[in-house]
Structure 1
């Protein structure tokens, strides 16, 4: 099983799920995307091909040769869907936690970040401040925010983070991936869709767009949770995920 993080937070965001998944008998891989956490930050285009190659090469290097379960958070959910679209034979099932790909109207600040040179200048001046200001929207539990800040912000100060994030904004279909989701739906890969009821980053109403694109997906709303339901409510998410993974699936592990 592979846990794919979102566009900014590193692999620590999966910690509450790892133990119950391992206890249930799963081999679990979590990793930092290129440009995030403590992975390399190559000065290249951060588009679908880069993220696909990273996952493919990582699976090969670690000996994951059979089809895998992919679990993706937000941007990681979009990456999981794109990976299935390009490599359906490599994926056994999907769990998508509030996936990107649909959408909200871009704010003026985000639109400006798309502009070459201007985006870099703005990020150099305001990037960390904006990332810090965004964190309270990730959880409905304010006591978690200092922990998120302490574990996340240091990795954003490593050279190359800004380039990776800006290049991702410019070259990924973060709000326009509906056609990819519809293609993946035709594959009928078992899919679990989870959403925090109080998500302020990717609001619950967007779930209806995702469900329309993936009508076969099993869907659950997690109460008392925001954008990180597995981090805020592992007691609710872990049983749903382990039960989903225990169901008969088309191929063997």
Structure 2
């Protein structure tokens, strides 16, 4: 049965969660000490939430088969360890863990063990020696990071192209994924996350366009509703920080010429319980695809966030956090019910 509702119900398992609506006015931020590997342009970012989360980004060594040396891989590690399995946050196409600057602290305040992971080829990892950033490489890298550091089945959250990454990973490594949350998912051929195989010269030309400030500014105002011009400028600068690394261009071209993600045929293989979240006013991926995804996923629920564009965890972090928390609450209750011993009735 199709259940399409808005995010409005109350939390009971996480009473300490402060999900008041964030105001996105950009003002002068306090001094923060950023990791030395971040681009120096991080100092120019005004958004205090981005600045604060950036101080927690670190690099962890990850061993993979396609590199002789460990990849120093960027992520934000949790401050707490919970009895529940962790929540692991991916990001969208050509982005970074800073995409979660508003929702990450809400999930932590609720007591969840929360990770934010940079997908291989994007974010703030050191990819100076990496020659391949195709789907198989991204999958292996993420699996080795999970195996080395996370080590428990996770609730894996993927927005936009990150949803395709999550679906691919859940199908190939089901032991690592307990539940899925897919946000405005780009998982069909007509979605923005699936690329035709491109000649190398065309791919490099496309990467130059991706890096351009006007395109990113246009995309920002297309993706979000009611964002002020000053805030939009700052968000663009946050989104393109990782493009300043010398290896970003080669890594992105490697991904593009490989064909990118095409997971539409994997959808019916997803066995994990899945929450689909969609912005009601998404101008990038039609919410008709949300309904299609709900019908094709064997074990899914769908929730819609009103007055919201393409990335709810950026635009409506209170609503996004609440839905993720409710989803985990319901799953936790179901697990407890299944594990509870049944009473034997003797007549």
* Superposition TM-score tier, normalisation by shorter sequence: 0.7 to 0.9
The two structures have a TM-score, normalised by structure 1, of 0.86
User: Cα gap change, 1:60/1:215 in structure 2, threshold over 3 Å: closer, same or farther?
Assistant: closer
Structural mapping, 1:48-197, within 5 Å: 48-62=135-149, 64-104=150-190, 114-124=198-208, 127-129=211-213, 130-143=215-228, 144-174=231-261, 176-184=262-270, 187=271, 189-197=272-280
Q: Deviations over 1:137-161 (max 9, x none)?
A: 2211322422211212232122222
User: Cα gap change, 1:69/1:126 in structure 2, threshold over 3 Å: closer, same or farther?
Assistant: closer
Q: 2:289 aligns with which of 203, 206, 212?
A: 206
Give the Å deviation of 1:125: 6.3
SS in 2 for 1:178: coil
Instruction: Write the distance in 2 (CA, Å) between the matches of 1:103 and 1:128.
Output: 25
Q: 2:310 aligns with which of 227, 233, 243?
A: 227
User: Cα gap change, 1:21/1:154 in structure 2, threshold over 3 Å: closer, same or farther?
Assistant: closer
Q: Deviations over 1:53-102 (max 9, x none)?
A: 2212222332x222111001111111111111011111110000012221
User: Cα gap change, 1:8/1:211 in structure 2, threshold over 3 Å: closer, same or farther?
Assistant: same
Give the Å deviation of 1:241: 0.8
User: Cα gap change, 1:24/1:160 in structure 2, threshold over 3 Å: closer, same or farther?
Assistant: same
Once structures 1 and 2 are overlaid, which stretch shifts more, 32-41 or 235-244? 32-41
Instruction: Write the distance in 2 (CA, Å) between the matches of 1:172 and 1:2.
Output: 25
Give the Å deviation of 1:237: 1.4
SS in 2 for 1:46: coil
User: Cα gap change, 1:163/1:251 in structure 2, threshold over 3 Å: closer, same or farther?
Assistant: farther
Kept in 2, the 8 Å contact 1:73–1:99? The answer is yes
Q: Deviations over 1:164-211 (max 9, x none)?
A: 22332333554x421111111xx2x11100011111221212212212
Instruction: Write the distance in 2 (CA, Å) between the matches of 1:251 and 1:166.
Output: 43
Q: Which runs of 5+ in 1 are unaligned?
A: none
As a proportion of its length, which structure holds more helix? 1
Instruction: Say whether 1:244 aligns with 2:327.
Output: yes
The two structures have a TM-score, normalised by structure 2, of 0.64
SS in 1 for 2:126: coil
Number of matched residues? 243
User: Which stretches of structure 1, 4 residues or more, deviate above 6 A after TM superposition?
Assistant: none
- Larger Rg over CA atoms: 2
Q: Which runs of 5+ in 2 are unaligned?
A: 1-86, 337-347
User: Cα gap change, 1:235/1:38 in structure 2, threshold over 3 Å: closer, same or farther?
Assistant: same
Give the Å deviation of 1:44: 2.4
Higher relative contact order (CA 8 A, sep 6+): 1
User: Cα gap change, 1:123/1:84 in structure 2, threshold over 3 Å: closer, same or farther?
Assistant: closer
Kept in 1, the 8 Å contact 2:200–2:257? The answer is no
Once structures 1 and 2 are overlaid, which stretch shifts more, 74-83 or 19-28? 19-28
